[in-house]
Structures are given as structure tokens and as C-alpha cells.
Chain A
Amino acid sequence: MSQPEYEAIVNEIRSARIPASPELRARVRALEAAVPPAPPRRELPWRRLSLVLVPACVDVGVAAPLTVGPAPSGKKGSAVAEGGAFTAARPTETLAPAFQAQSDSARAHKSAGKSGAGLPTTPGRAQIYEAQLTLKVNDLSTTTKRALRLTGSFGGYVRSVEYGSGRERGTAYLVLRVPIGSVQEAIVRFSGLGTILDQHVSIQDVQQQLDKRFRQMQSLRDTIAKLQAQLENPNLSSTDRAKLVAELVAARRQLDVLKVAQTRQQRQVSYATVSLDLRTQAKAAVVPHEAGRIGRALHRSGSILLDELKVVLYVLIVGAPLLALAALGMGAARISRRRVEARLLSGR
């Protein structure tokens, strides 16, 4: 068909009018009075909101680590409190596990907060208290003498001393026994003799052993008393008497053994063993590298950013398949709708 013929058809269609009937017109006009208008719906301007929200979220995500990073963290503070004067040395993880299980943690933290203070014993409990201190000192001889004097002033005694002084390096190893009641103060004083390089405290509760042994001793005493009472009977045969005497001797021997053990352990718990390792050079001073404030802040900011990245990645990994499924579903629904439309529009 030529263009003019097309135009003829188009013009004919355009010139035709399909006016609505007066009834329809009246019907539609009446609608406004009959149908109440829908209440205004507050639609959120998503595009504008996203223009604000997305940069805001990114800003918060980046600013939060940078703000939180330089702030002093609670963890760092507690490390200082735990470490106390040992910031340059090994922190409290050097404590013996036995102690950590048995001692009261709150009191331990409180006393550990003091400079170089040892860990407290539990009042009313028999405990074997052992402490090892490695100190860097300037003058080995003077410090050793001061340590010995301090031990005497606390009512303690020196178990052993190993002293060696050379041109480049000198060491002294002292094993001291300090009354348990003064051990904390003693450790504080010993710590003041030099710079602490290492500290190890071990507390072992032996109260149960003492109590058990005491009960055994009481039982043996009762047995001995009974045997003695039986032996006072004049009607005993010589055979029975000999048997009772043998039992009595065995019980007394056992009681003596228990007494010795009890006394030894009571003596052991009444004094704490403090080992002092004095050095003129910090050979074993493994001072962990402490980054500066800016370094720590940057490190912390970096780790927070990394955590945020992990969360975003996690959300993407978990959410991506769901989003893909949703997109596929929407696409399928759209295709289906189009097909239905096409089918409906293909008819006459």
C-alpha cells in the first residue's frame, strides 16, 4: 500500500468520532459524588531518601571505626590493670592455672592492680604459696644484700643464694622463705628492687589434705586409747596381750608419721617461697612491641573496618542468592504477565 493510501485510512480513522453516550457521561459525572476519594497516602520519596541514606550509611561505616579506633579501649585499660607494673613484662597469663582456679579473681585483680603486688592468699585456708620474680637490677651486690635484709625484716629466712658477678653480666638467684602473712608486702618490696622482667605466682590449696590428715590422726588417737584401755585388763591372756601391744605399737608409729607430715606441711604453708632472679642485663626481657597511640588507633580502625567488610560480605553472600531468586521470580512473573497479555491481545 502506498503512503497516500495509508494516509487515507489514518485520516478516516482520525476524522471519526466515538462520542460517549449521554448516559455514560452522566454516569461518570455522578462518580465524583458517589465515590469517596481515597485518603491521601504518604509516599516516601525513595529516590531522594536513598540519595541521603546511602552516603550517610557509608559515612557512618567509615567514621565509626575512625572515631572508635582512637578512643581508649576498655581492653587496653584492663590489660594495664592486670599487668600493673608488669607492662614491660609478661602479663597475668603467666599465673599458674592452679592459682587461677583457686583464688578469688576479684581480689586478685584488685591486688594485681597495685604495682608489683603479689596475689593474696585466702584467709583461713592453708595454701602453698610460691612466687618467682625476675628483676633487672643495676647493682647486683647491693640489691642482693637489700633483698636479704628485707627477708629478715619480714621474719623470713634465706633458703639458698646463688650469686655470680661478671664483667658483662651478673646474676643472683635467691630462694627466700617469707611468712605467709607478709608475702604480699614482701613481693611489693622485692619488686621495687629493680625492673620486673617476669613474674610467676603459684598458689596451691592444701587445706583439704591437712583436714584429712587431722581426722586420720584423731582416729588413730582413739584407737590407741582403746588399745591402752584393753591392755589394762588383768584377765588378758598373754597371746591377746601381745597382739594388742603389737597393734598399739603400729598405731603409734603411724600416728608419728602423720604428725611429722602434718607439722611439715603446716610449716610449709606458714611460709611462702619467693624466688628472686636478679640480673644486671635484661637478657630475657622480651618486651612486646607497644605501638604508639596513633598506631593503635589505626590498627583498631583497620580491624573495625575489616569487621564491617566481613559483615557486608556475609550479607552479600547470604543475600545474593535470595536477591537473585527474587529477581528471577520477578522476571518470570513479568514474562508470564507479558505472555498472558500477548495472548489476550492476539484475539479479536
Chain B
Amino acid sequence: MNMPRRRISPVHAVAEVPSFASVVERHLDDVHGYLVYLTRDRGIAEDLTAETFEKALRLWRRFDPRRGSARTWLCQLARTTALDHFRAEERRRRREGVYARDEYVDPEEGLFGGLSPELERALAALSVGEREVIALRVLLDLDGETAARVLGISVTACSTRLSRALKKLEERMSADVAA
């Protein structure tokens, strides 16, 4: 007599942990792009990307796919790495007595992946926080909830930040075109 097979509910299903190598292949570009948006410097972004993946490799056993995707986890690590870098830079500047942080420097050409020059300049003129939300929500196409979790803010705050950033981007582009 054939007994009806019980379906295993998703709750009881064990989430598969991907291999680190496959995660590198799949998400290296994403993390790198995110860090380029944050740092506005390809060289620094590359260093921070390598540092992020090194950190990820060390912490790989702690990664729990049930809590979130590997990409979200990597973005969180990348953000922490970038913030550490910014803190270190700030300390260095303070120590050296240089206060030229807000001074605008033209980004290298094609930094953001071959966008129009107006958009590149407008993006570069945004604050790190504004570029960050654009990177997460637009470039990486994360949903509002995931992006908010990476940023450590509420979903509403994330949406507000995004629309302000886009508006500012548009305004700067319009001003650039007008000029």
C-alpha cells in the first residue's frame, strides 16, 4: 500500500550554502560596483573589494543563507569595510591637517561604467550616502527592504533617501546641461 508522501515545508528545508568560489564569481562585480559608487575611486574600490572578500572568506562559516542572500551579506561587509576606510581617511586628514575633503574633484572618465558625462558628473557630485542608496536600489536592484537592512535604516527612510538622491541627480544634470 502506497502511503501518501508528506511534503516538506520550506521552514524545515535546509538552506543550501553556496561555495565561496561561486559567490565570488556571481557577486564580485556587484560588490565592486557598489564600492566604486561609495568611494568614487576605482583603485580604492578595488582594494576595498579585495578586503571585503577576504573578510567574507574569514567569516564564511558564519554566513547563514536563511537570514539573507549572499549578495546582501557581502554588501553589508563591503559597507563596513568602506566606513572603516572613511574613518581611517578622516583620522589621517585630521592628523595631517588637511580639510579638503569636500573639495570637488572630477572623477576619472567612465568611472561609473560608461554613463553619459552629465550623469557621471552629477553622480560624482552627490554625497556618499546618496550614491550609496542609488547603488543599492538602482545599480544592484535590491528591493527596498533589503537595501534598508544594508543601510541600517527603515524602508521609508530608504525610499525617501532614494527619491531625494534621484531628484538631486536630475537637478544637477539639468544645471549641467543648462551651463
Which residues of A are at the interface with B, using a C-beta cutoff of 8 A?
Answer: 1, 5-6, 9-10, 12-14, 16-21, 23-25, 27-29, 31-32, 35, 37-38, 40-41, 43, 338, 340-342, 344-348
A-B contact pairs, 10 of them (CB 8 A): A5-B170, A18-B36, A24-B49, A35-B58, A37-B57, A38-B59, A342-B129, A347-B102, A348-B124, A348-B128
Contact call A344/B134, Cβ cutoff below 8 A: no
A40 to B113, CA, bound (A): 39
Are the C-beta atoms of B113 and A16 separated by less than 8 Å? yes
Residue of A nearest to B122 (CB): A9
Q: How far is the CA of A7 from the CA of B30 in the complex (A)?
A: 21
Which residues of chain B come closer than 8 Å to A43, judged between CB atoms? 62
> Which residue on chain A has the smallest CB distance to residue B107?
A348
Given A347-B128, A348-B102, residue A340 in contact with residue B112 (CB < 8 A): no
| A16-B113, A27-B50 known; A344+B29 contact, CB < 8 A | no
Chain B contacts for A32, CB-based, 8 A: 20-21, 24, 57
Which of B32, B87, B152 is within 8 Å of A340, CB to CB? B87
Interface SS of B by simple majority:
helix
In the A-B complex, list the 4 residue pairs whose CB atoms are closest, starting with the nearest: A16-B113, A345-B129, A18-B33, A1-B170
Chain B, residues 14-35, CB within 8 Å of chain A (1/0): the string is 0000001100100011001100
Q: How many Å from the CB of A73 to the closest CB on chain B?
A: 51
A31 to B51, CA, bound (A): 10
Contact, CB under 8 Å: B29 / A18:
yes
Q: Which of A10, A18, A344 contacts B166 (CB 8 A)?
A: A10
Interface centre among B119, B123, B171 (most CB of A within 10 A): B119
Bound-state CA distance A9–B40 (Å) is 18
A contact residues around B138 at 8 Å (CB): 10, 13-14
The winner among B86, B102, B124 for most chain A CB atoms within 10 A is B86
Q: Is the CB of A345 within 8 A of B127?
A: yes
Residues of chain A within 8 A of B166, CB atoms compared: 1, 6, 9-10
Q: Is the CB of A16 within 8 A of B112?
A: yes
- The bracket for how many chain B residues form the interface is 35 or more
Q: Is the CB of B115 within 8 A of A13?
A: yes
Check A13–B141 contact: CB distance below 8 A.
Answer: no
Indicate if the CB atoms of A35 and B29 lie closer than 8 Å: no
Q: Which residue of the partner chain, among B36, B50, B125, contacts A28 with CB atoms under 8 Å?
A: B50
Q: B113 contacts A28, CB within 8 Å?
A: no
Number of A-B contacts (CB under 8 A): 123
Contacts of B112 in A (CB 8 A): 13, 16, 18
What's the Cα separation between A334 and B3 when bound, in Å?
56
Contact between chains at A24 and B127 (CB < 8 Å): no
- Give B141 Cβ to nearest chain A Cβ, in Å: 7
Residues of B at under 8 Å CB distance from A? 20-21, 24, 28-29, 32-33, 36, 40, 46, 49-50, 53-54, 57-62, 83, 86-87, 90, 101-102, 104, 112-116, 119, 123-129, 132, 134, 138-139, 141, 152, 166-167, 169-171, 173-174
- Whose C-beta in chain B lies nearest to the C-beta of A338? B152
Contact A28 B128 (CB under 8 A): no
In this complex, what residue of B is CB-closest to A2?
A: B170
Contacts of A9 in B (CB 8 A): 119, 166, 169-170, 173
Would B36 and A347 count as touching, CB distance under 8 A?
no
Whether the pair B29, A20 counts as a contact (CB closer than 8 A) is yes
> Contacts A13-B115, A20-B28, A31-B53; is A344 near B62 (CB within 8 Å)?
no
Taking a contact as CB atoms closer than 8 A, the residue among A6, A20, A41, A342 that contacts B61 in the complex is: A41
The answer to whether A344 touches B128 (Cβ under 8 A) is yes
Distance, CA A20 to CA B49, complexed state (A):
9
The docked-state distance in angstroms from the alpha carbon of A27 to that of B104 is 31
Residues of B within 8 Å of A20, CB to CB, are 28-29, 32, 46, 49
Q: Across the interface, do B87 and A28 meet the contact criterion of CB distance under 8 Å?
A: no
Q: A347 to chain B: closest CB distance in Å?
A: 5
Nearest CB of chain B from residue A143's CB, rounded to whole Å: 85
**Chain B contacts of A348 at CB under 8 A?**
40, 101-102, 104, 124-128
